[in-house]
Each structure stands twice: as C-alpha cells, then as structure tokens.
Chain A
Amino acid sequence: MLKNLRRRVSGTTIAMWIIGFILLVVVIVGVVRTLMIGKYTGADWTDLFVYGISQGSVYALIALGYTMVYGILRMINFAHGDIFMAGAFFGYFTAIVFEKNGFFDSPTVDGKLVLALVVVTLVAAAGAAGLAILLERIAYRPLRRAPRLVPLITAIGASFFLEYSFLGLFGSGIKGFPEIDALKGRVSIFGVEILKTQVVVIVASFVMLIALWLFVQRSKMGKAIQAVSEDKDAAALMGINVDRSIMITFLVGGALAGAAGVLYALLFRQVYFFMGFFPGLKAFTAAVLGGIGNIAGAMVGGLFLGIAESLFPNLVLDGLGIPAPYQLKDALAFLLLVLVLIFRPTGILGERLATKKA
C-alpha cells in the first residue's frame, strides 16, 4: 500500500506541485495587492472582461477546429490557423465588394448591413471550409495510416504553403477591413457599455458554438463523427462512411475558422498573410487548456484564455509592481497553460478520448 503510494507520487510530481503552489501564491498576492491599490474603476474591469470575452470567443471558434480534428484523427492540424487567415481574406474581398456598392454606408443597423455581414461570413466560411477539405484530401488522407509524426510535419508544411501562397498572391502589406459606420461606438447592455463590434462578435460566436454543439450531439452526422473518433474500424464495420465523416469534420472546423476570420477582421480590421499564426497558436493553447479532443473544453478554454489575456496582466502583474505588464500577456497565457497542466494534465474539462488511444 505504502509502496504503491510512493510509486505514484514521484519526486517530479512533488516538485511540480511545489512550483504550482508557489505560482498560485504569487498570483493571489498580485490580485490582492492590485485590488487594494484600487487604481481602476469597476467600469474598467468590466471593459477588460468584455474585451476578453470577445477575443476569447474568436479563440474558441478556432480552437474547435483543432480539437475536432484531434478528436477524430489524433493529429494536430497546424495549418488550421492559416485556414482562419484564408477565411479572413475571403471575407475581406467580399466585404470590399459590398462596401463599393454602399452596403455599409447607413449610420444605423439596417437590413442591407445585416445581409451584407451574413453573406460575407458565409462566403468566408465556405471558402475556408473548401480549403480545409482540399487540405485533408490532398495532404492528410494519403497519410492516414502513416506514423503520427508524418501528418504533423505535413501539417506544418501545409501551413507554410498556405501562408506563402497568400503572400505571393496578395502581397505582404496589411489590408484594412472596411469600417462599418453603424458598428462604431458603444451600446449599453444591462448598464454595461460595450463596443458594438464586440456585441456582434460575441453574439455571432455564441450562436455558432451552440449550433455546433447541437450538430455534434443531435444530428446523425454528428453522431457518426463521434463514433469515428471513438474507433474508426468499429465505426466502419457499423456502416459509417469514415472518409466522409472525417471530411465533414474538416468542413465544419474550416467553416468555423473562416467565420472566426471575419469576426476577427471585424474586431481588428487588419488582414494579412501571417495573421493566422498567433491566433492559431493561442487557439491551440485554448484547445489544450480545455482538454484537447473535447468540444465543450475548446469553448471553455478559448473563453478562459481570452479573459486571462485581457484581465490577468492588469489584475496579477500590476499588483506585483511589474511595469508595462501587457508585453507579458503571452508569457502569462502560456504560464497559465503550464499551471493548468500541472494540476490537471488532461485540461480543464478533461481530454475526452476513446480507451483505444493510439
């Protein structure tokens, strides 16, 4: 019994717990001190929180693509961030057409604007989904039975291919996504002043997240995808078309990434060939944070990461007396990942994998 325990709790585990504990104490000290200084008003904190949710919901949309592909193929699709970038480009080109035809001119939200935004999002989602399917068909399917490292390296290659194709096609400069007059300024919701673009982004992403959840849980195709992710061979024996399920997974993941690209472009109004790299990396982090392979986990992880990035530098580092804390935003995000993985190696909601994990 005691021997068993000793084997389970090794030296490294204890060391990790100690490191984790120290970090936790530092975090708590930082938070308490910041709040005691009281430099920021309640409105500042809610602002930071809302900025975090809007950023986090975009992360969540991208993270879903990572997590779904991981769930079904056990591979990290590193080109996913570039699918997101492609979606932003498709959305940008469509938006430019609408802008030229005066769809964005009206000072208030009207039918024309809503129609334009929906079409822009649909075009971006369709374009990105098409690209994702092509990628799967050309780059990943031939390697389905290859060792796990092979598709991973291929994915990195595909990522570079996409980035530099867009660089070659559209140049390296930053393209400004059209500014929509009706979405300028703030709107009051439950007494909280929120930027209108952020309202659009948050609402749109939550609608998509719920739609995806229903699709995976309720629809026949969604159940087929779950079956394939549990056991490809058994699913095939039960009459499920494995190739088609995998294709649909890429399609859905790509469409979400494409839509996320448009939302991101709405928020930050910059479109360029390398824009997918960092959001992709962050979304991957979010997927791991939430528990990779777990769809609800990706959503939670994305939101958590977004809020942490926006809130924590101010909340934790400011109290510790660290100057210019926002340059440490990324370091903090990844530190958070380490912390979560120390205490919960399978992520916040746990890795949902079949017992027959490769």
Chain B
Amino acid sequence: MKKSQYFVIAVLMIAAFVLAACPAATPAPTTSSGDTAATSGDTTTSSASGDTATSCECTDPKGCVTVGANDPVRVGWMMVVSGADATLGLDSKFGAEIAADDRGTIAGHAIELTGEDDLCSAEGGQTAAQKMSADNKLTAVIGTSCSSAARAAIPVMCGAGIPMISASNTAPDLTADDRPADYWCYMRTAHNDKVQGAAMAEYAYGAGFRKAATVHDGSLYADQLQQVFADKFKELGGEIVAQEAVGPQDTDMKPMLTRVAAAGPDFFYLPIFVAAGGQVVKQAKEVPGMENVQLAGADGIFTADFLRAAGDAAMGMNHSSPDFSLFGEGYPALLEKYKAKEPAAPLSAFHAHAYDAFNIIANGIEAVAQKCDDGSLVIGKQALRDAMISTKDYSGITGTLTCTATGDCADPKIAVYEVMDTNPDNWNPGANADSNPKKIWP
C-alpha cells in the first residue's frame, strides 16, 4: 500500500517535471536547421498571416517571428521589479515604457511590452528566460537587470534565438571576447564595468587614498567589478589590503568589517546591492577602525532606496554611476516625461540606457522586417540580432552608440558622486549645486 502510494507520487512528479520542461524545450529545434521547412511552424502560427503570406517566407536560419496584420509588435523586458533591488529594474522598465510611448509604432504596428521579473538572481533569470523564450511572438528582450540573472538567462534566450539587450548588466564577462558561443544574441547599452571599476580606482587614487579594501556579495557583477577596481588601483600604485565577501542576504556585517578594519584601509569599495550594502554602510560606523574610512558604492546601489536602507550612515559616501550631465540633448525631456509618468518613482541609474535599448530594438526591427501583402510582418531572428549589433553611431540619449562584435554598445561615461543628504525624498542625482548625490569627479 505504502509503496504503491510512493510510486504514484513519483510518477506524478516526473510528469510534472517533464511538463515544466516542455515550454523551454520547444523553441530549441528551430535553431537547428537552416531550411524554411523547419521554421514554417513559426511563420504559420499567427492566424492572421495564414497561408496567403507566400510573398514573405521566412528564410532566416534561426527562424522568424510573425506579427499578424492587426497584432502589435511584442517587445519584452526582463528586470528586477520586486524585492530590495526593485528600483533598479523599475527604473529601466519606465525608461523602456517611455521609449515605447515616444515611438508609438514599429513598422506601422502598435507596440506591446511584456515582461518578467528577473529577481536579480540566477534562479530568477533562469525562470524568466524559460517563460519568455516560450513566447513565439516575442521579437526581442530588454534585460536583464542583474548580471547574475543574465548569465542564466542568456543561453536560454539565445537558444530560442531571441535577441537580448540589457540596460544595466555591467559585468565584463558578458561581452568578453572569449564569451561562450551561446551568448551570440546578447548585447548591452550599459557600460562595461572595466570602465566603471577603473574610473573609481582613478578617482580614489587621485583623491589621495592609498590603501583600499573591497567587498563583494558573490554576484557576478560585484565580484568582477571589485576585481577590476582592485587591479586598476594596484596598477596606479595603491595597495589592496583586503578583498572580502558576504552573502547577499547577510545582515550581520560586523564580523566581516572587523576583519577589514584589522587590515587598516583608508578607502572601502562596496559595489554590492541595496540590502547588504545598506547593512555594510550602517555597521561600518559601528566597528572600531572603520569609522573614518571613506566608503564608496557603485551603480547597483545608486538609488533612493539605498538611502532608506543605509540611513544617516550614507552621508558623504561616494558612488560611481553613469554621468547624467554628459547625456545627450534628449535627456532633460526624458527626465520630464519620467517624472510626469511616475512621480513617486525614485530615479536609478539606467532609465536612459533602457530608452536607448528599446530604440535599438525598434530600429533593428524596422530594418529587417518583411512586410507581407496582408499587412503582417515577418522578422528574422538572426537578421534582427545582426541589425541590432551592427548599430553604428546611433545618437541615443546616453551618447553616441556603436556596438562591438561582442555586444558592447555603450558610450560609457562614468562619474563619481557624493551623497550630500540622506533623506531619500531629496534624491536627485546630477551635477548641479543642489543635486544629491552630487557629481564630484571627473
């Protein structure tokens, strides 16, 4: 009796796993074969296109997305919209939404934005990518927010042939020259942390700091960023006295900080996220030997929520983040629309990058979409990715964007800011006299 019950449960569980795996598995075959027969399933899935669309067959080796005559073009986002780091993702999401509103239509079709939460973690990125890659109407995705999520999501999305362009992934790995072949569909408008880490190191060395310590939280982003910083700082002639790590959910940082204090740094770089970052900054003021060490964060905690998490201890802290004051002419208008659309939403670092990312997708689609006689669109997946990655001298809001062969599209401009006021309601980053945080370098 007992045994048979276990058997039934086991069978049910296996069935559940198989079913759960199915949506992810189905898009994969479309990438295997080059002829149109293999991908015709995709092209005929739309009821509107039907078999009249003979004039625009799909010839793309990776398959096509067909948009019916009266259907909108679907663009996805994959960002962290819940949890402690929600402002990071929401900020980018609003940027993409404003871009979609500004644009109105793509190739004569309305625009539909859909999205999933990447939870700023590998697990979240995996789940979101499994869901989104199963959507055969999805043209491209803006995302993810976090590099750890990207590492899990990219192979899945590339497997399904859906181009991904991130507005806030900054880990150098993702666009490195030796990146895996299944990252072919990925690019980003965010700066590469090779730039951000080096900028912070130059600022710190220039400001007279000589003994630096770093901490990361095991995430791809934080680990690589602190390493870039450490390498550059050493190269400039400084000394790295400690490189520590904590867990992203840890709360008691005092033991770790005691270790750092024992190494005697004068500069402490913590390119981590909001929850742990807030704890490190608060508790640094409570650990003997750390009270007067200059603290510095990065773009991951460049948000008003961080002030909420860190409280008064954030006063005077430095941050590296994109330099808003060097953004293009369209930026003030974007900022106005943002504030009109989401008055309560505090700005984070990457809304403008998401705006540009959306436009790179839209330009790509308009360049490669075949218009059929019945009004439907056929968009080749490989063609769309190629069009996006060959973006050259596109004057976006974040600068003049040109993509490299490995997907780095950013025109990176990094500034270092200083927190002048710890009231989250007064968060207003910029280079003006009343800005908070205020740009102090370069």
Residues of chain A having any CB pair with chain B under 8 Å = 39-41, 43-44, 47-48, 51-52, 55, 167, 172-176, 179, 193, 195, 264, 267-270, 272, 274, 277-279, 309-311, 313-314, 318, 323-327, 329-330
Contact = CB atoms under 8 A, between A and B. Distances in A.
Contacts of A43: 288
A160 B296 CA distance: 36
A279 B305 CA distance: 23
B258 to A, nearest CB: 6
B255 A313 contact: yes
Contacts of B312: 179
B275 A47 contact: no
A174 B243 contact: no
Contact of B279 (A172, A173, A268, A323): A268
Contacts of B109: none
B288 A193 contact: yes
Contacts of A279: 251
Given A47-B258, A193-B288, A270-B251, A172 B309 contact: no
Contacts of A264: 251
Interface in B257-282: 258-259, 261-262, 274-275, 278-279, 282
Contacts, number: 101
Nearest to A41: B262
A176 B309 contact: yes
A352 B83 CA distance: 39
19 contacts: A47-B254, A51-B252, A167-B82, A172-B83, A173-B305, A173-B308, A195-B286, A264-B251, A267-B251, A268-B279, A274-B83, A310-B254, A310-B255, A314-B259, A318-B259, A326-B250, A327-B244, A327-B245, A329-B247
B108 interface: no
B255 A48 contact: yes
B255 A327 contact: no
A51 to B, nearest CB: 5
Nearest to A278: B249
Contacts of B282: 268-269
B250 A329 contact: yes
B251 A310 contact: no
A314 B261 CA distance: 13
7 A-B pairs with the lowest CB-CB distances in the bound complex, closest first:
A327-B245, A324-B245, A326-B256, A310-B255, A174-B309, A268-B251, A172-B82
Contacts of A179: 311-312
A326 B311 contact: no
Interface in B82-121: 82-84, 86-87
Nearest to A172: B82
A176 B254 contact: no
Given A269-B311, A310-B252, A310-B255, A324 B243 contact: yes
Given A47-B258, A270-B251, A324 B308 contact: no
Nearest to B306: A174
B255 A314 contact: yes
B301 to A, nearest CB: 11
B218 interface: yes
Which has the most chain B C-beta neighbours within 10 Å: A44, A52, A279? A44
B28 interface: no
B275 A174 contact: yes
Contacts of A330: 247
B84 A272 contact: yes
